[in-house]
Chain A
Amino acid sequence: MTTALHERAAGRTTAAGARRAGRRRRGRPVALFLAPFLVPFVALYAAPIGYTIYQSLFRMHRSGLGLTAPTQVFVGIANYATALGNADFRGSLLRVLLIGLVQVPLMLLLALGLALLLDAKSTLFKRFFRLAFFLPYALPGVVGAIMWSYLVAPGLSPITALGHQLGLHLDLTSNAMLAPTIGNMLTWGWTGYNMLIIYSALQAIPAELSEAATMDGCSAFGIAWRIKVPLVRPALVLTTVFSIIGTAQLYNEPTILHNVAPNLSSTYTPISAAYDAVNANNFNAAATESVILALLAFVLSFGFLKLVQRRGGAL
């Protein structure tokens, strides 16, 4: 009995030993193969995140006249209170939230609608339309932003010129129009990209499903709404998460628009506010604002994921 147990235990250790040896044999290439990615990944992704959090907890203390070198002092969450107490920074967060709340649903509805129309069997010139909608994404974001900044710039804008002829006096760079103008730049640039993701998912739906529904007397609209939209849910979830993250990084469009609309503040979005802090050599404030924005983007995108998961349906 004991010998049997002993033998079994021994057998187990040799098996484990063999497994371990096997792991060791393959363990070396694994470490070697992953190192070229993991080392820079840790250095250029993990370390900056850690460093930012660390920086956000300190403050440079300059003594009296600033004649001696400033010293770094641990201040805990005081920087966070300062950042959130700053009306400019709060305003930038709110602005981005508001732009996202209006622009993201509008853009995705447009992308979904266009994808459904392109997917319909009787639609003509599909290839042309697909390329036309996607073209803005193939342009560098900065080029798109420069182009739109001139398209809305007072004096240069062919849009306001057209409006003038119709008796409409519109300034697309006035304070009231800044957010809609930026929302339009985002919608123009990203609808095609999102449309293509949704369209690809639509094409993966077996044709028999729609054919069966047509035989049952379902209209084209009914098929789109009852069959196609639920089936491309994962693509819609993905595009929503990407759009939320995209809105959080809003920087290029307002920065470039500022060149034709000087009334646009230099702290219009959270990233430009953080960049402003870097320029003012206030690295601790820049780090703190970055952490707050990252947390907000994380909470919103994962909050959205949890919300749609609870509503049922696999991601």
Chain B
Amino acid sequence: MTSTSRLSRWLVLGVLLVASVYFLAPVWWLLVSSTKTNADLFTGNGFWFARFALFDNVHQVFAQQGGIYWQWLANSALYAVGGAAVSTLIAALAGYTLAKYRFRGREFTFNSVLAAVLVPQPLLAVPLYLMFSGVHLVNTYWAVLLPSMVSPFGVYLARIYAGASVPDELIEAGRIDGAGEFRIFATIALRVMSPALVTVFLFQFVAIWTNYLLPVLMLANDHLQPVTVGIVGWQAQRGIGPTAVPFNIVITAAAISAIPLVVLFLSLQRFWRSGLVAGSTK
């Protein structure tokens, strides 16, 4: 190896290291800070440990406001699992139909779905709030669950995958054997499409778990809120007074709420990567 190429290799490594410090240092700060007492947050080196108070902090998070943090986690799980499961099933059926049947309005339907992928979600949140308040759905579980059940991006992914992976011959064989159209979908297509459906589920789960604007608009009742809205609510109750929430509690609560997603991302890496690739070759 020549000396210039060795030099350039070290240079590349140096640049990547600097970049990873930029991306990792804040997360490191969050982890370190969740182990500190409220007083220690304001003194000493922010990036290094002080008195170890992690277990005390976790205990305080789950005791704050009558233990509402449990409820928030459960609500987030309900919204994310329920919304993602329903939207994935619906998207699979719609994507399969758009890929495998010829009918009038097929292109128009697909183009509308594509256009909807490009609509900024928060722009829909305000009008949805207005409509839902008209039919008295505001401040109910449905206000967040219903919009979570529709995923145009899921239909897009499902259609691409069904088109590429479900062979027409398999469908014809099912028809010759006398299977109904729905049975063919449920027993043949769904099985072939399952890797793509995991991706759709994952993307929708993440989108719902991280959503903030829709639930904060729709839910004024603390007990219906997902964990994102709850934590921001605590963060806003700063300062002194009986309702003040100390910084260490907000920081530890934020760190805990990130665990489910990080675990999901790490354990299902190959699925979200395949989803990103499908998106980039559009």
Contact = CB atoms under 8 A, between A and B. Distances in A.
Interface in A74-118: 110, 114, 117-118
B235 A259 contact: yes
17 contacts: A23-B104, A32-B182, A36-B94, A37-B90, A44-B147, A46-B112, A48-B127, A51-B131, A124-B9, A139-B27, A146-B250, A158-B46, A193-B276, A235-B280, A252-B212, A252-B213, A275-B217
The SS class assigned to the A binding surface is: helix
Given A47-B131, A188-B22, A196-B273, 9 more contacts: A26-B181, A33-B93, A33-B94, A34-B93, A128-B20, A148-B26, A155-B42, A156-B41, A294-B123
A268 interface: no
Contact of B146 (A40, A252, A290): A40
A271 B93 contact: no
A287 interface: yes
B280 A238 contact: yes
Contacts of B236: 259
B170 interface: no
Interface of A: 23, 26-27, 29-30, 32-34, 36-38, 40-41, 44-49, 51-52, 55, 110, 114, 117-118, 120, 122-125, 128-129, 132-136, 138-144, 146-151, 155-158, 161, 188, 191-193, 196-198, 200-201, 204, 220, 234-235, 238, 241, 245-246, 248-249, 251-252, 255-256, 259-260, 271, 274-275, 278, 283, 286-287, 290, 293-294, 297, 301
Contacts of B42: 155-156
Contacts of A252: 212-213
A33 to B, nearest CB: 4
Interface in B67-95: 89-91, 93-94
A72 to B, nearest CB: 13
Nearest 10 A/B pairs, CB to CB:
A158-B46, A48-B127, A37-B94, A29-B181, A138-B265, A132-B20, A52-B127, A33-B97, A140-B210, A249-B120
B97 A40 contact: no
Interface residues of B, number: 88
A47 B130 CA distance: 11
B36 to A, nearest CB: 11
A150 B265 CA distance: 25
Interface in B14-46: 15-16, 19-20, 22-24, 26-27, 29-30, 33, 41-42, 45-46
B126 interface: yes
Given A52-B126, A142-B232, A122 B5 contact: yes
Contacts of B47: 158
A230 B76 CA distance: 42
A139 B261 contact: yes
A48 B23 CA distance: 38
A274 B250 contact: no
B119 A45 contact: yes
A51 B118 CA distance: 19
Contacts of B13: 123-125
Contacts of B247: 150, 156
A287 B130 contact: yes
A143 B253 CA distance: 9
Interface string B49-71: 00000000000000000000000
B97 A34 contact: yes
Contacts of B266: 138
Contacts of B109: 34, 38
Nearest to A41: B150
A37 B112 CA distance: 12
B16 to A, nearest CB: 5
A110 B19 CA distance: 9
B232 A146 contact: yes
A20 to B, nearest CB: 11
A150 B112 CA distance: 41
A147 B30 CA distance: 7
B279 interface: yes
